[in-house]
Amino acid sequence: MTRMEANDTQDHSGPCGGHYYQRMGWLEETIWSIPVWEILVLAGIGLGSGMLGGLLGIGGAVVNTPAIVLILARDIHTAQAASMSVTFFVAAPAAYRHWKCGGLRFDLIRAIVPAALIGILLGVTASIWMPDQELRLIFGVFLIYVLYVNFRRVIETSQQREVRTSRPERVNIKRGTVVGSVAGFGAGLLGIGGGLITVPLTQLMCRCQLRQCIACSAAVMCVTSLVGATYKNITLPNVPNIGDVHWWTALTIGVWLIPTCFLGSWIGARLTYVLPLKLVRSVFCILVALASWKFLSSFIENVT
């Protein structure tokens, strides 16, 4: 009998032996189950999405989800669950940096969070019953909206910006509820942090300064992302025709995004007060346009 065979036949039923080997087996099937090259790709994706998250007040999923689908060839439901699992680690350091810089408005946060929590649960529930291709179509259309919003900010003149920012603020529970419910539902349906909806909608409804809206968005995501990600991962096996997945399947991807997302978010939040936002938005628009084209062209090819 070889040494390996002897180890295999060894009794692990002692006080902790059997449980220990079960735990190690679970880790091998989850965290360590993907190739090294995928881990390196995920690390790069995480750094980029984290920096954009910190700079623009988004959760990073608008970068993570398309990258996971298009580069790693995962289904969009799993990609969304992985991205939502990472959102807190992008939003938390960004929110902290904004707080240190005096950018957080707690009255605005309190007005938005309750409706956002309800909205994200409803959005995730709706996404469960959507087939992969239809969800890709919705995500592709959403990216066009993202492109439109950010492109408008790029070409906006200083006079237009002055008019937009000079209007009196209107922060109250009713307006916060509208922002929270729309952003929360959109975040749950699309598997995103919701910042790409929260920031422009807060500007429109509450008429706050852009940097205050970005800071508020990061703080709101710290709360909603934990609830949304937990619910999304628990319900992932219920998605029709998704195959053999478990509640931890998306975490095998998300766990490798977290360290660089965290680092990138910290850097991005600092750069918000240094870099010109027009330059950042211009680069972001190019990436969003490419991702949208890939999603929509993939849907068209499958339909035809």
Model pLDDT for residues 45-75, shown as the tens digit of each residue = 999 888 887 777 666 788 898 899 889 888 8
- Give every CB contact of residue 186 below 8 A, 6+ residues apart in sequence: 119, 123, 142, 192, 194, 197
pTM over 0.85: no
Structure confidence at residue 40 (pLDDT) = 92
Neighbours of 259 (CB within 10 A): 15
Rounded to the nearest 10°, the torsion over CA 206, 196, 123, 205 is 10
pLDDT > 70 fraction of the chain, expressed in percent and rounded: 84
Mean pLDDT of 242-253: 84
- 63 against 177, higher pLDDT: 177
DSSP H helices in the chain? 3-9, 17-29, 36-56, 61-72, 76-100, 106-128, 132-155, 158-166, 173-190, 195-206, 210-235, 251-271, 277-303
Structure confidence at residue 129 (pLDDT) = 86
Token pair 């649960």 is found at 121
Residue 122, pLDDT above cutoff 90: yes
**What are the C-alpha distances in Å from 274 to residues 175, 214, 268, 292?**
31, 15, 10, 29
Look at 73-77, 111-115, 204-208, 276-280 and tell me which has the smallest mean pLDDT. 276-280
Structure confidence at residue 12 (pLDDT) = 45
Q: How far apart are CA 237 and CA 178, in angstroms?
A: 31
Look at 2-11, 141-150, 159-168, 249-258 and tell me which has the smallest mean pLDDT. 2-11
Q: Give the torsion sign (CA, 248, 253, 256, 258).
A: negative
Structure confidence at residue 143 (pLDDT) = 87
Q: How far apart are CA 110 and CA 220, in angstroms?
A: 9
- 188 against 165, higher pLDDT: 188
Q: What is the pLDDT of residues 158-168, one digit of tens each?
A: 666 655 555 66
Look at 115-119, 142-146, 169-173 and tell me which has the smallest mean pLDDT. 169-173
Q: How confident is the model at residue 3 (pLDDT cuts 50, 70, 90)?
A: very low
Structure confidence at residue 6 (pLDDT) = 44
